Chains A and B, each alone.
Chain A
């Protein structure tokens, strides 16, 4: 139940989310995987939307060169752990917000533990190796995975629902080279905001999700496109092969 104070806090969004929707968010737990440009934007918007639990995972410390875009950090924070700091900065947005910082690198070995109890995973990583690990964990847990990535003025978002839609590998079968890409807070803000919008819709079962689609943002031309991505029958992760495997297991 929402308290009278919480009802007052959310009075401007209950017309679109409903009080029951707001309660669903209060009961929902989200893993923000990464606390960089995307992750800081995502964590903040999750807290303000009213998610009950926000777990933030990042193994890095804050550096000066992060401060053009990682909007939860300030100059005196340089050297601190990102996840710790991000959690500290979003605390107190709602009276009930439960925050957890995970200061370790995400691996195949620890990902199931790291995603335990989560209702949704939001991708704020800077590399596809870890994105695939998280996407696989989301699939194993049967929870949505909201993919997001940026590159300078460009960005992309896709929502994957295990067993129902194209998986991350269908959408990006071969990752781009792992380099330090240009990054702008205006772009991470846009992409992170779209990811949180998807997360809210997933939890509330509202609207149309970015499933079997990839949204492409081009800030340089101020254009947004969504392109269809057909789930692949041949895809070992979301296609026929997996269905067969699941059936064989039964």
Chain B
């Protein structure tokens, strides 16, 4: 068991959240993930740890709210592989709902 855990390569990424998401977690945190983790899996990890995030990120049916910006090193995952986007070591993941009012 322990050997298996050791074998899965661990890596650190930085997650930054803004605006309303700050109600549920710190602005910046280091998250340890296994190699091959997708953006979707990372979001699930975060919502497990901070349940309040769930409603901010996902609708009632569990689908990601399209307007929530999720940037991997400045590139919106919408233009990458969406929730299937692979997160890599030292990535900076920024998550925030855009403001819309004037």
Contacts and interface: CB of A to CB of B under 8 A. Distances in A.
Nearest to A128: B100
Question: When A and B form their complex, which 10 residue pairs have the shortest distance between CB atoms, in order from nearest?
Answer: A181-B101, A228-B74, A151-B99, A126-B102, A149-B99, A230-B74, A174-B66, A176-B67, A174-B67, A176-B100
Contacts of B71: 227, 229
Contacts of B20: 154
B76 interface: yes
Given A37-B102, A156-B99, A181-B101, A232 B18 contact: no
Contacts of B102: 34, 36-39, 123-127, 148-150, 188
Nearest to A157: B99
Interface residues of A, number: 46
A56 to B, nearest CB: 13
Nearest to A239: B79
Interface in B53-102: 66-67, 69, 71, 73-76, 78-79, 94, 96-102
B48 interface: no
Given A151-B99, A178-B100, A218 B66 contact: no
Given A38-B102, A230-B74, A151 B79 contact: no
B100 A126 contact: yes
A225 to B, nearest CB: 7
Interface residues of B, number: 24
Interface of B: 16, 18-20, 22, 27, 66-67, 69, 71, 73-76, 78-79, 94, 96-102
Interface of A: 34, 36-39, 123-128, 148-151, 154-156, 170, 172-183, 188, 212, 216, 218, 220-221, 223, 225, 227-230, 232, 234-235
B17 to A, nearest CB: 11
A183 B100 CA distance: 11
Contacts of B99: 149-151, 154-156, 176, 181
Given A175-B100, A229-B76, A232-B76, 18 more contacts: A39-B102, A127-B102, A148-B102, A149-B102, A150-B99, A154-B19, A170-B76, A170-B79, A172-B67, A174-B66, A175-B67, A176-B98, A176-B100, A179-B100, A188-B102, A228-B74, A232-B75, A232-B79
A126 B101 contact: yes
Contacts of B69: 172
A235 B79 CA distance: 8
Contacts of A39: 102
A51 B94 CA distance: 36
B20 to A, nearest CB: 8
